Every structure is written in C-alpha cells, then in structure tokens.
With several copies, the nearest count.
Chain A
Amino acid sequence: MIKVRQKQIDEDDFLAMRKDVLSLWPTGQEVDLDEAVEYQRNLPDSKKFYKVLQKVHEEGRTVLFPRSGTPIVEDEIELVRSLNDLGIPLIPFTTDSYTRNLQLDKAQRGLEDSIKAGRSMLNGYPIVNHGVLTTRKVVEACDGAFSPRSSRLANSLVGEVAFASGMTAMPNSFFGWIGGYDKKATVEECIDTAQYLGRLIGYYASKGVIITTDCHGWLPNGVIPMSVNIATQIIEALISAEQGVKSVMPQVNLQGSIAQDLGDIRVTPRLYRKYLDKLGHSDVMIPGIVGSQVPLYAFPRGMGSAFGYIVYTATVAALGQVDACFVKTIDEAIGIPTKESHIESYQAAKWVLDVVRTQEFEIDNEDIRQEESITEAEVTAILDKVLELGEGDIAVGAIRAVEAGVLDSPFSINIHAKDQVLGVRDLKGACRYIEFGNLPIPEEIKQFHRDKVAERENVEGRKMDYYVSIDDFWAISKGNLLGMPNFNNNNGRRGKD
C-alpha cells in the first residue's frame, strides 16, 4: 500500500520530523532554523545560487560548476578558494561516502585519521561531523555560491547543516539515489526523504530565502537516450515544488553526440516549464541550466585524451549556451583528483567556455531538431504514463512506474529497478535503445530506434546486443563514440579460453 502522496507536509509534522533528523549527530544542535534564515538573508548575492545563475544567464556566459570535496577543513578552504580564484562562482561540496550513508562514526574516524595522517582518508568533506560553525568558515572563505552533494540516508541532515551554514542549493534527486547511490531503499522511501528536503527549502522560501534544487534524474549508467533521465528530473522537480521549492535547475547530461546533446539542451527546460505549469507550479523559477559530463562512461586514462574529452564536453555545453557546466578532471579514471589536476582541468574547460560563448554562435540543423523532437515525444509519453498510473498523483505514479518498468534504466544500483532496458550508439554516435523494456515509448519512435540500430548492424555486420552496449560504454575512454569488440578488457564477452 502506497502511503506517500504529492502533498505538502504539514508544518507541525515537519517541525516534529526535524527533531529526529537533528538528533542523529551532536552537531545537529548547532542548527537553529530562525538564526539560519537570518544568516541566509544577509548573504551577498554572490553566495545565492539562483542569483548567480541568473546573472550568468543575463551575461551570456557559461560558468564551471565542478565537483570536489576533501575532509580536512583547512584543505577544503584552500580548495574552494583555488576554485573561486579560477573564476568559478558555483562551488561544489562533495561529502564523503560514509557521511552519505549516515555512518557518521566511521566518517569521524576517517576525519580524525586524515588529520593525523595529514592527508585525506575520506573521499569528501564530512559536513555533519564538521557541523555548522566550522562549515560556515568554508562558506565564508570565498565569494561563491555553494551546493553540497549527498545521498539518500544523509540527505535530510546534510541539508539542515548545509543551509544553516549558508549553502544555497542542493540536489534533491531521489532518482539519482535509485540509479547510483542507494541499493535497497524503496521508491517510496526515496520520495519521503526528498519531500523532507523540499519542505525544508520550502520553509526557507516561506521566509523569503530562495534555495535552489538541482534535479539529476535517474542516473544514466550506460549508453541510453536521456528521456528517462529527463522525465525523472521533472518528477523530482514536481515533488520538490509541491513542498515549496521555488527554484529548480535542470541538468542536461552531455553524452558526446553533438546533435543529441544540443537537442536535449533545448528540450529539457521547455519540458520542465510545461509540466511545472501544468501541475500548478508556475511560480517555480528555472534560473539556469547545467550541462554535465555525467553519463557514467569510464573516463580516458591518458592525460591527453582526458583533456580531449573534457574540452570537447565544455565546447558542446558552450555551443548549447547552457549557464553552467560540470566537467570532470583529468584524474577521473585514476582516483580522487589532486588540486593541480582540478586546476588544469578547469582551466582548460574555462578557456573554451569563454572563447566559445564570446562568439554567440548559433547552431542548428536537421539532426538537432530531430533529436529534440524525439526526446520531447519520449519524455512526454513517459510522464503522461506516470501521471496516468498515479491517477494524477505524481508521487504515486512514480512508485508504480518503477514497479512496472515504465521508468527504467540499466545498471542501476537499486534492487527495485527492473533493469530491462539497454542501448547502443548509432552510426553517428547518438544513443538509441536496443531493449525498450516496458518504457511507454510510442511505436513509431521505437521503430526509429530500431532503424538506426539496424543501420549499424548492417555496417558492422554484428548484432547490437549486450556486449556491444558494453563496448560502447567503454568507447569514450578509448577515444571514440562507437565501441570496438576488441577493447582491452573484452567486456566480459565469452572468450575462447
């Protein structure tokens, strides 16, 4: 029996829930909501995420919005300053994996060990362990707007501490957890958690403090079109909006196909607007969009190729005139990047973002328009089906849709995902489905996918199956979009033995 509903949490209930959340770790007591609202109110515009995005948008620029975090507070301050010095106005705040899984005692140990060893033993900043007072020092250390990253288990507590510390954005992306961060949670539990953060942001909003939510959607772990990802982003935006969130930032995952990426950049904010308006959230703003090097392809290991991939992605982002751009670093395939790698990587990306945006170059062609209309048709079909399944309630619909495989994506971590869909690239490098699972994609569009896949089958003389899907998954790291059967790792294809 589904209990969750698309409905704002009652204020008293919410305040009661907060007590539980804040009692999870001693630093919870540092959070005083009224004082936090006051603190947020006094922040300069350069620390308000939506204001920064709006300004960047007006100026016609694309700024970097990287990822990074390190446990020791002095190091973190140095890191955010060095990012800010590079001209980066949107400052990421990656928390470590123990924190994200609410294993705060392990995070504590990792933090202490890190301090003792003088080097990081955690893969991010343990924000809860550091608490509000310490974290404010980081926020105040540079002139940028902060957005912390977490996952489901710690989402509520991380949000509480982060906003009280002066951070002004945070993902509230429950499909992200299903795709990549949470193995066992049910969709309902995920929505529950997201509603809490939405309600918290809504509370701030009711006091005039606008905090932005970035929606990541179902993390796309493989070579597939972004339709499910975009549809699930919009569901996340709707769930957040209902709780009072007033500012959402769409994310467009750049996959390497220029036509498909630019098509997605065009269609994503339009569809956000459409469904937000349709479901009564016309007052929710979209201050800007972020292009992300996120489809989770393995990254090239060689430095040159890694730079190639980073700069290329930034170029496409700039051609698409997105407001912010997330790229990885040249160390992505190796390990947590060094400070130098961060700087060199972002300098490369920044170089091209600035050079391309200056040109106000308009880019359009038949392929882009085609991808745009295909994505639009797919996302619309999926969302309409979800609403239908929920009988108008998007929360209920989302739960039923995952159950039914109406929302589905491959290689997800979550055990409730059907995992019946799969994709490969077509001859020009666009991502197409080879297995549709139960996705409610219109028949003529399925046929389009099949035709494109058949074209490649003809040219390469091999069946486009699971193994090709994995070949394609590795392709970018090997220097192309189309996978070859003989990449070094063989992709688990049955050998001769």
Chain B
Amino acid sequence: MKAKPTIITGTVGVDAHVIGTKIVSRALRDAGYAVVELGAQTPPEEFIKVAQETDADAMLMSSLYGMAEMDLQGFKEKCIEAGLEEVLLYIGGILGVSRHNFQDDEKRFKEMGFDRVYPPESDIQLAIQDLRGDLMSKRKFANLVMES
C-alpha cells in the first residue's frame, strides 16, 4: 500500500484554461496528496499513459472550453483497456457550450463513466472530501488520515 494517494490533474484536449487546474493541484498538494500536474492542453491519451506510469489513484480533470464531451468520447473504455478501471475519474469546469443545465452535463459525463462531475466554480475543498471518501470506500487506503 502506498503512503500517499497519487492524483493526476490537468485540462483535457486543447483546453488552455490552466488557472483552475493549477489551483486544484496546489490544494491537493496542500492536503497531502501526491500530485502529477500535467497542466493545460493535455490529450486524453497522456492522462492514461501517465496514470499507468505513476500507478495513479484518481484523475481530476478540468475542462472549461466547452468541448470536453468531444475530447472524452470513449475515455472510460480506454482507461479500462489500459487496466485503469479502478482509477477514479472526476471532472470539473464548464462542461457544455452556451447556457445549459449542469444537471444535463452531470448525467452525460456519468454515463461516459465519470465517478464525479462538478459544476462551475465548485469548492475544491468539498471535492477533496469526496475524494478522500471515495478512496477509502475503495479500501485502497484503509485508514486515510491526510495531513489536513
């Protein structure tokens, strides 16, 4: 069992909105996680490759530019193929184009295999709480007492 869970962060596709994922990454680090920060404009394949290399426990993906759905077609399936079915998939940001309902986004991304979907401007501390719970319930970290 690893000492610290390993989390991969980044924006997916050619999304340039890096500010949010930088803040997310720092918050995870502050909370005691090992963070592999891929930054902006990270192709889905790179997430998978790095997850394999680092034995990652979760991916916290960001997307703001409205094209995440196109970018992530079949992503969960590729994760499974790559032996990453146990890796938690979270996504946050702005997931649709133009005025739309978050509920629709959430439904769509859950159907695409994401474990959790966050609305715009979510509180990252709450997401970190979710993450802790999800990791514990996967029993990968039997007694996850993080620094925070």
Interface positions of A (Cβ within 8 A of B): 97-98, 100-101, 103, 106, 110, 120-123, 151, 180-181, 183, 221-222, 296, 298, 301, 331, 333-338, 411-413, 415, 466, 470, 473, 488-497
* Minimum CB distance partner of A412 in chain B: B18
Q: Interface of chain A, helix or strand or loop or mixed?
A: loop
Verify if B40 is at the interface (C-beta below 8 Å from A).
yes
B96 near A335 with CB under 8 A, answer yes
Which residues of the partner chain A approach B72 to less than 8 Å between Cβ atoms? none
Which residues of the partner chain B approach A98 to less than 8 Å between Cβ atoms? 14, 67
B19 near A492 with CB under 8 A, answer no
B123 near A180 with CB under 8 A, answer no
| Other-chain contact of B148, A120, A334, A470, A495 (Cβ < 8 Å) | A495
B66 near A490 with CB under 8 A, answer no
| Other-chain contact of B41, A123, A336, A413 (Cβ < 8 Å) | A413
Verify if B82 is at the interface (C-beta below 8 Å from A).
no
* Minimum CB distance partner of B23 in chain A: A492
A338 near B98 with CB under 8 A, answer yes
A335 near B40 with CB under 8 A, answer no
In the complex, which residues 15-34 of chain B have their Cβ closer than 8 Å to any Cβ of chain A? 15-16, 18-19, 22-24, 26-27, 30-31
- Contact A415:B23 (CB < 8 A) given known A123-B67, A497-B31: no
**Bound-complex Cα distance A335 to B68 (A):** 13
**Bound-complex Cα distance A205 to B66 (A):** 38
**Bound-complex Cα distance A489 to B120 (A):** 10
Number of A-B contacts (CB under 8 A): 108
A413 near B16 with CB under 8 A, answer yes
A-B contact pairs, 14 of them (CB 8 A): A97-B16, A97-B67, A100-B14, A110-B67, A120-B98, A183-B41, A221-B19, A301-B120, A337-B98, A338-B99, A411-B18, A466-B26, A489-B124, A494-B148
**Bound-complex Cα distance A488 to B123 (A):** 6
Which residues of the partner chain A approach B65 to less than 8 Å between Cβ atoms? 97, 123
Verify if B129 is at the interface (C-beta below 8 Å from A).
yes
Verify if B81 is at the interface (C-beta below 8 Å from A).
no
B124 near A492 with CB under 8 A, answer yes
B15 near A97 with CB under 8 A, answer yes
* Minimum CB distance partner of A109 in chain B: B70
A489 near B129 with CB under 8 A, answer no
- Contact A97:B14 (CB < 8 A) given known A492-B23, A494-B31, A495-B125: yes
Which residues of the partner chain B approach A123 to less than 8 Å between Cβ atoms? 65-67, 97
**Bound-complex Cα distance A490 to B26 (A):** 13
- Contact A492:B125 (CB < 8 A) given known A97-B65, A103-B14, A413-B18: yes
Verify if B89 is at the interface (C-beta below 8 Å from A).
no
